Amino acid sequence: MRSNLLAALSTLALTSASALASIDINGGASWGGWDHRGNSRDVGIWGAQSTTRSYELYTTVFTFNNDAVTGGTQVRGNNTPVGFASGAFSTGAFANGNTILGIGLRMNGGASAVSQNFVGFDLSGTGFQAASALGATDGRVSLSQWGKSGDFSAWIDPNAGPSNLAVLTSNGASQGGAGASSNLVGGYGSGVSYDFAFRAFRNGAVGGGLQMFFDLTAMQNLYGGGSNFITNGWTNGATPIGAIGSNIKLSLYNAEASHADASQVTFGVTVPAPGAVAVLGLFGLAGARRRR
């Protein structure tokens, strides 16, 4: 009897977690299931360049489960798969059970969601660092400067969407290396043609929103030397990304489409172990939704 009860409670918990963990995927029209991390000008987040560009920063980590895009416009090139469909060069991306990292921006003032975005992944969590104050020059946000071999960045172009993956082949210049990289570019004929394991959706322009989704499971497989490791199209030879652990630091370069008014921020993200995301949804998102 006791075992049957525990099994029933376990099933109920997982079902409830799935329901509570629903993520708003609509380009930023709403932010249910996302954590508000602060403003781009906040001390502890702001890293370099523009001190006036303002947007609200959101993140989410969830287990993909037939999640659908419910609004907004996809930022994509001609060969970028529609929505979360898997393409010829993004095998296994956005499959049920995969761990997804979402980064969202809600623009303030005159800042536009039609923007350039480079997301740098500091896999050791020790390279990037926010500036000590808004306008200070001690922020560490450059991948080629502060990254280590295997760290990488993803570029989302305002018109073509996912357009490049750059992996450091040596430590950054301030980490004792040359900061050299190999790029898996998204141009036609490169072997990927804008078909990456990350996607973007936008809502509006000035004062609008942007949501970017990175399939960490598929990225590790496709770009980290897994069974479907992409070896063609790299500028300096195929270079696997490092292992994506549970605590990573991210650097975000965000600017107008013309690269004007560029701002850089940095923030940490905790990635739960496989299977733990649903539990976090049950105990974390429930409280968050009550607060909202």
Instruction: Report d(CA 201, CA 81) in Å as an integer.
Output: 12
In the DSSP assignment, the letter for residue 72 is S
Structural domains counted in the chain: 1
Rg (CA), the chain: 19
In degrees and rounded to multiples of 5, residue 113 shows phi and psi of -75, -10
- 209: tokens are 């929103």
Q: How far apart are the first and last CA of the chain?
A: 38
Return the amino acid letter for 20. L
Q: Please, where are the H alpha helices in 58-192?
A: 143-146
Domain that holds residue 280: 2-291
Could you tell me the pTM of the whole model? 0.88
* Spatial separation of the C-alpha atoms in residues 96 and 197, rounded to whole Å: 14
pLDDT in tens, 9-55: 343 333 333 334 589 999 999 999 999 999 999 999 999 999 999 99
Structure-token match 């960490």, residue found: 216
Distance CA 274, CA 86 (A): 21
Per DSSP, the three-state class of 73 is strand
| Tokens matching residue 164 | 């490049």
Q: Output the CA torsion 278→283→284→287 (10° steps).
A: 140
pLDDT in single tens digits along all 292 residues of the chain: 434 433 433 433 333 333 345 899 999 999 999 999 999 999 999 999 999 999 999 999 999 999 999 999 999 998 999 999 999 999 999 999 999 999 999 999 999 999 999 999 999 999 999 999 999 999 999 999 999 999 999 999 999 999 999 999 999 999 999 999 999 999 877 788 999 999 999 999 999 999 999 999 999 999 999 989 999 999 999 999 999 999 999 999 999 999 999 999 999 999 986 544 433 333 334 334 333 3
